[in-house]
Amino acid sequence: MTAPALTGRPTAAPAPLDAPPDTAPDASPRALLWRSLRARRRDLALASLFFSSHQLGEALVPVIVGAAVGNAVQDGTPGQLAGWLGLLAADFLLLSLSYRFGARAAKRAAQHTEHQVRGLLTGAVLRPTGGVRLLPGDLLSRAAGDAERVGAYARTLASTVAAVVVLLAAALLLVRISPPLGALVVAGTAGLLAAQHRLSATLRRTSAAEQAHQAGAAALAEDLIRGLRVLKGIGAERTVAADYARVSQDAVRAARRAASAEAALLSLGTAFTGLYLTAVAAVGGRLALDGRLGLDEFIAALGLAQFVIGPMRVVAAARAGHARALASAARLHEVLVTPPAVTDPGETTGAPGAGGRRRVPSDAGEAVTNRLGTDAVVVRSGGGDGGVAEGGSGGGDTGVAEGPGRGDASASERGAGGGDAGVAEGPGGGDAPASERGPGGGDASASERGDGGGDASASERGPGRVAAGPPGSDGVTTVLGDGDLEFRGVRLPDGSVLDARVPGGAMTGLVCDAPAVAEAVTALLAREFDPAEGAVLLGGTDLAALPLETLRATALVCPHEPALLPGTLADNLGALSDGDAATAEGARAALADQVVNAAPHGAGTSVGDRGETLSGGQRQRVALARALAARSPVLVLHDPTTAVDAATEHTIADRVRRTRAGRTTLVITNSPTWLARCGRVVHLHGTPAAARCDTGTHTALLAESPAYRRTVTR
């Protein structure tokens, strides 16, 4: 699974429960399993103590009954019998309360152990340096099924300790009654454990295979559900259904093999306990016939022999539980030991606490002050200062709502008048962006205010500097040279080499013939991986030399398919914003205010999982508005409007250019609409062995470069 889209506010990965963020991964799955259990040792000790007390109480039942019967046979008085019955009642009260409190402690240990390993897994997946690229369904299977199995073993362990204790106690009691019977219990238990040890390795292997196949089926199911509309559009339902049926059947067969191995292990335990009980009955009966056992002793011996079958079965099942837990711990350990995709120079300075500040060493760039954490942002569906304006009948931002049934089709696949068509704004429209309003307007941008404006944007400072927010504000203050982005001999995954410069304070377009190359450049700028050769520089500083918090507070990368967060439209539009004004500005520029106005509950409308309640064009507009609201000094957009129609794309591109005036913006796209608004365009084309970069304006490249013309007009 790829790392989440980078945000304009640095965030620290949450620390797992009972484990510091810098805890080194365990050396082996076994070490991970036992460390997780040791973290809940108090609950495990209590559970083991109360379960042992419960088991001992049950073991005493046949002994007390035997003593009561023997006393009654030997002319016991009614008072003595009542005393024995009272003792039996006290024993039942003891074992009942012991189980009650033991079950509570065991459940607590299991839940907290499960939560701890799930926290460790989440921390590894969400760490800023990345590295874990498993499919979401696979990760979900590990975080749910495997973590649950590890947690369940905590209860199994407490029950096993109690079973071992009561087996020892029963053996001692039987030795006092008859040494041969005590030796028989010890020999039967030892033989059972030895036999099961040989079979547990098979169960461990089959259990791991079962979990892996289930994870594969879950991952495929998630992908199919997410792309269901596309699959229906191309008529591939039967093909993918057959693929899922095949994968599902493989998972079923793996589950059957694991169940067979577990059944073999448990049946072996059942056979051993049956043979043991038969042997005890035979030996005890022989001793009773020979007169070496009294009636009370014979009753107690048979009762104990029958009782210890339960603890022996617990011990038998413990091997199966341990094998399953160890197999799941191995799958969790695989994720935890995944090496990071990149290194973070900032880790050497120590992680700041939430809301704190950190000083970055001078060799990592110039002085950087990061203020972590953002205040909650409320997006209003009505107009007003800083809110998301509603489009009126005469407003400039009014547009045609997306038509029903359009789905995720791109503009090229829709007919005229398709869903996302917008109406170009008229002069003087009430919802015109800040840059179009006259001076003195309440939401006027910094470029239209006087030099002393407190909220002045980067355009007011001139293109020579990259900055975000005044010092001491709620933003992030970063000074990194002139804000240029430069690719120096960067070798991309396909083998081509990129040499290009993105000037600071301007909008630049990057055109790549191959979509995979465009995705690779986006990932490079997000530092999802580092180039094998060459370097990417920001303001003259290698990205690899910048602390990740510094880089991600300065450069915001919006991928082609950004994920919307579960919650409402307001939650997503304001996720990266430092205030209502920034949120409203981003929403107007991306025409996301139209999405809010068309939604049934306005800004409070839920977007569902990954924005499933929105169309493709709506999702893109909300994601773009979220990125613009961050007011990041450097913004990278990868094909931000492929799912909207041409008219809406023209309006959005115009507004983004005005909104981002004076800030560094790189648009990775083949769209002529965006490229025409870029002051500079870089075209990477040719074979990997003979790749070349052409630079110029969109108009000049169209006239002079046939390769560029073919790429952007196809």
pLDDT in tens, 237-285: 888 888 888 888 888 888 888 888 878 777 776 777 777 777 777 777 7
Distance CA 21, CA 12 (A): 10
Q: What is the CA radius of gyration of the chain?
A: 35
- Going by DSSP bridges, is the β-strand pair 680-685/507-512 parallel, antiparallel, or unpaired? parallel
Task: Describe the crossing of helices 147-177 and 29-38 by its angle, rounded to 10 degrees.
Answer: 70
Q: How far is residue 350 from each of residues 22, 346, 360, 361, measured CA to CA in Å? A: 10, 7, 10, 12
Position 536, amino acid:
V
* Same domain assignment for residues 31 and 122: yes
Mean pLDDT of 643-653: 94
610 touches 677 (CB < 8 A): no
- For residue 219, what are the domain limits? 204-292
User: Maximum distance among all alpha carbons in the chain?
Assistant: 119
pLDDT of residue 265: 73
Distance CA 33, CA 143 (A): 15
Nearest to 170 by CA among 302, 313, 318: 302
* Same domain assignment for residues 133 and 62: yes
pLDDT of residue 620: 94
């038998």: which residue's tokens?
A: 316
Distance CA 249, CA 466 (A): 56
Residue 11 pLDDT exceeds 60:
no
Nearest to 50 by CA among 2, 106, 12, 4: 106
Neighbours of 496 (CB within 10 A): 23
- Within a domain: residue 43? yes
- Going by DSSP bridges, is the β-strand pair 477-478/368-369 parallel, antiparallel, or unpaired? antiparallel
Distance CA 558, CA 576 (A): 12
- Within a domain: residue 534? yes
* Same domain assignment for residues 243 and 145: no
**pTM for the structure as a whole:** 0.63
Q: How far is residue 298 from each of residues 81, 173, 357, measured CA to CA in Å? A: 19, 12, 76
Residue 4 pLDDT exceeds 70:
no
pLDDT of residue 295: 65
- Within a domain: residue 431? no
Q: How far is residue 455 from each of residues 282, 473, 556, 631, 633, measured CA to CA in Å? A: 93, 10, 20, 12, 14
- Within a domain: residue 435? no
CATH code of the domain in which 142 resides: 1.20.1560.10
* Same domain assignment for residues 147 and 252: no
The three-state secondary structure class of 177 is helix
Burial class for 348, CB neighbours closer than 10 Å (0-12, 13-18, 19+): exposed
pLDDT of residue 8: 37
pLDDT of residue 475: 38
End-to-end CA distance of the chain: 32
- Poorest-pLDDT segment among 101-105, 279-283, 325-329, 547-551: 279-283
What DSSP state is assigned to residue 142?
Answer: I
pLDDT in tens, 182-191: 777 777 766 7
* Same domain assignment for residues 286 and 303: no
* Same domain assignment for residues 285 and 316: no
Among 277, 310, 341, the domain-final residue is 341
Distance CA 466, CA 463 (A): 8
Helix (H), strand (E) at residue 565: none
At residue 607, φ and ψ (nearest 5 deg) are -95, -10
* Per-residue pLDDT band at 296 (split at 50, 70, 90): low
Among 292, 307, 326, the domain-final residue is 292
């006259």: which residue's tokens?
A: 438
Residue 66 pLDDT exceeds 60:
yes
Average pLDDT for the chain: 75
pLDDT in tens, 483-520: 789 999 999 888 889 999 999 999 999 999 989 999 99
Percent of the chain with pLDDT over 70: 72
pLDDT of residue 420: 39
* Same domain assignment for residues 226 and 92: no
* Same domain assignment for residues 88 and 147: yes
- Poorest-pLDDT segment among 12-21, 197-206, 524-533, 625-634: 12-21
* Same domain assignment for residues 286 and 299: no
Q: Please give the structure tokens belonging to residue 511.
A: 């055109």
* Same domain assignment for residues 560 and 607: yes
Distance CA 156, CA 316 (A): 11
**Which has the higher per-residue pLDDT, 84 or 623?**
623
- Within a domain: residue 194? no
pLDDT of residue 173: 76
pLDDT of residue 248: 87
In degrees, rounded to 5, the angle at the alpha carbon of residue 572 between the alpha carbons of residues 571 and 575 is: 80
Task: Describe the crossing of helices 295-307 and 237-289 by its angle, rounded to 10 degrees.
Answer: 170
* Per-residue pLDDT band at 587 (split at 50, 70, 90): very high
508: β partners: 666, 680
121 touches 147 (CB < 8 A): yes
Mean pLDDT of 659-683: 95
539 touches 480 (CB < 8 A): yes
Mean pLDDT of 94-122: 92
Among 292, 314, 332, the domain-final residue is 292
Highest mean pLDDT (candidates 26-35, 371-380, 537-546): 537-546
Distance CA 508, CA 210 (A): 50
Mean pLDDT of 15-31: 58
211 touches 331 (CB < 8 A): yes
Q: How far is residue 344 from each of residues 203, 275, 348, 427, 641, measured CA to CA in Å? A: 41, 62, 8, 48, 32
Q: Please give the structure tokens belonging to residue 138.
A: 């696979």
Q: How far is residue 644 from each of residues 94, 585, 677, measured CA to CA in Å? A: 71, 20, 17
* Per-residue pLDDT band at 76 (split at 50, 70, 90): low
- Within a domain: residue 633? yes
Mean pLDDT of 612-637: 93
At residue 491, φ and ψ (nearest 5 deg) are -90, 120
* Per-residue pLDDT band at 165 (split at 50, 70, 90): confident
pLDDT of residue 430: 37
* Same domain assignment for residues 321 and 209: no
- Within a domain: residue 10? no
pLDDT of residue 356: 34
Q: Please give the structure tokens belonging to residue 541.
A: 């500083």
- Within a domain: residue 461? no
pLDDT of residue 316: 72
- Poorest-pLDDT segment among 101-110, 144-153, 441-450, 642-651: 441-450
- Going by DSSP bridges, is the β-strand pair 368-369/497-502 parallel, antiparallel, or unpaired? unpaired
């076994």: which residue's tokens?
A: 30
pLDDT in tens, 166-213: 878 877 877 777 777 777 777 776 676 666 666 666 776 787 788 788
* Same domain assignment for residues 669 and 533: yes
* Domains of the chain: total: 3
What DSSP state is assigned to residue 633?
Answer: S
CATH code of the domain in which 608 resides: 3.40.50.300
pLDDT in tens, 322-347: 888 988 899 899 999 999 999 988 77
pLDDT in tens, 422-480: 333 333 333 333 333 333 333 333 333 333 333 333 333 333 334 333 333 333 344 45
Q: How far is residue 544 from each of residues 12, 82, 128, 368, 453, measured CA to CA in Å? A: 19, 83, 13, 16, 35
Q: Please give the structure tokens belonging to residue 688.
A: 């990997």
Q: Please give the structure tokens belonging to residue 85.
A: 């019955």
